[in-house]
Structure 1
Amino acid sequence: MKIVLLVTSPGDLMCGVADYTEKLAQAFLDIGAEAVIERPRRWSAGEIARIRRRHHGHGAALHLQYPSLTMGNSLAPAMLPVIEPDVYVTLHEFRLFSLPRKLIFLPYALKARTILFSNEAERDGFHSAFPFGHAPLHVLPIGNNILKVDEVVERRERLVYFGQISRKKGIEIFFDTVADLKRKAAPIDVRMIGAMVEDDGEFRAMVEDRSRDLGVTLRINLPPDDVSRELLAASIALLPFPDGVSDKRGSALACLDHGVTLLTTQSDKTPAWLKQTTLAIADAADASGVVDRLLSGQMERRPAPDILARELKARDWREIARAHLELYERTMR
């Protein structure tokens, strides 16, 4: 069987779905499966037909990853299950799609081999939109987008923020927590690791000014191996997502996989395993208090280690690739 992964985002652009696709393709190769990525320059029925002809006769499973950068609002993806019998699709953030974009997937609900989601909430949202659909709906988790480097890194007493540095990420809560820790002279180093994706000059200036005033070391736009080294060297991470942590938060998964104690917000979007393996905080004062108790040894740094080990194994890229392959073989038969 040949697996053809479809994504429109060019490799030189920062796109989470493209990054997911590249790691999945490599995982297929790692377990001995044949996989290629097709990146159509523009999404059209003609381009779909050309891709289909290129892989005709290989028993290919065409697997669309949707959405990705440069795809735009094209209706051409709706044609894929009409002209290709063995088509699969993974819908990333279906709940955020507009109504017209959701309607693109009516043909998939009727004809796709399988429609995949990263969690149950996304799957249930699709079922509510297309309760009459025939296609099986399946959940497979996302993997860690920062792979651990194979080297020994000394872990220090260090608090980090890791992820996109932009508005609506709880950045202000992180800085307020650091300010409170500094007032109490807490014995901990602080770093902010991630990508500055905000074009707003006022926000960027705020991050740079507060980092300088509070002694926060900025580590911006690092390559993945250097990010891994930073996480391996950290002891505590604070990720105060305004809407709560979920299993779609790659930054949270990376912190946990690197052995970092994770302080984060929780909500009704937070699955049970993340509620059990992270330390819940509500605001800066709450976070500062939890850090104090961790530093003094009054709190357990590794809650529910058995549950964490099980969930991290399920999110290993090779395990995810094997689960995809089993799904292809079962549904194509």
Structure 2
Amino acid sequence: MIRPPQLILLTLCFFLNQYLVQASIYSCNTTAPCGCSKNPVVMNARIVGGEVAASHSWGWAVSLRKSYMGHFCGGSVLSPHYVLTAAHCVDKIYLSLEELEVVVGRDNLYDNDGQRIVVSHIYVHPKWNAARWENDIAILKLKTAISFKNHNVDKLCLPSSYGTIERDFPLTNSQLVAIGWGSTRTGGSVSYDLRQVTVETVGSNVTKCSNSIKNSTIQFCAAVDGGGKDTCQGDSGGPLMYYSDIYQQWMIAGITSFGKGCGLSTDAGIYTRVTMYIDWIKSIVGKDGVVMVGENTANVSNMSTMFCIATLLFLFIMRSF
């Protein structure tokens, strides 16, 4: 027989599963040298149509800017002097590098906090193919070092290929998180606030992926069933990340590259597969403080599911008395 207190708990569990099923929380190791920000990450919605990220929960988010046009692409902090981004974001910058800068430690594009640093050199991958979007990866060297004394700034971890081969990571059906200041609809203006979205990797043989992908060895697809969640214009160059439950750290899996429209049910977003470029990244960045973590499983902690498991365990224990 279910008693009133137990009935209340079961009702609450049902409510959470019905209305809060999309809410996920990610704890992180605050002593880690990378992949953990000032505040925890809580996921509820999406970039396209979506959700503003919690304050300073993505300390490695970078806004690429030209002095005459503001934000145009995203990036990720790898180390004090280097930022990772997409080749198509910077391959046509012919003007003085003094006009290209990065902003770190800032959630709102128009706030005055954070650090603005001029770029001193652009390393576009030597095999970047604009026609096929292959090798869409670039590294920016900064004129002055990023200060990590500001607790709003952190480094994103690079993954090793331990546990799988480079061309198979991330595995199909892995849950990943993308961030950016891009549009919330096709053709829209950039977002003022940093946004976030959870997507799932899609096999290259699935139609929504095979429609667009050019080279599944160095690219991969991510989307959600039915569309609606995606990266969009202005998110290019930003990170697609996975969370290590073992190490409690975030690591980069992909770089936002291209796609047809935003959040379409028929087409997935295409991302550069970062594990295929670790050696190239290390050859440029050297020993500038980049951190690699060797664990390649993504895990999402769902608050409503956790609560319901705890509730059922509680009822089981109570029943034994």
Tell me whether the two structures share a fold, i.e. TM-score over 0.5. Answer: no
Bigger radius of gyration:
1
Q: Provide the TM-score with structure 1 as the length reference.
A: 0.25
Structure richer in helix, relative to its length: 1
Structure richer in strand, relative to its length: 2
The higher relative CO (CA closer than 8 Å, separation ≥ 6) is in 2
Q: Provide the TM-score with structure 2 as the length reference.
A: 0.26
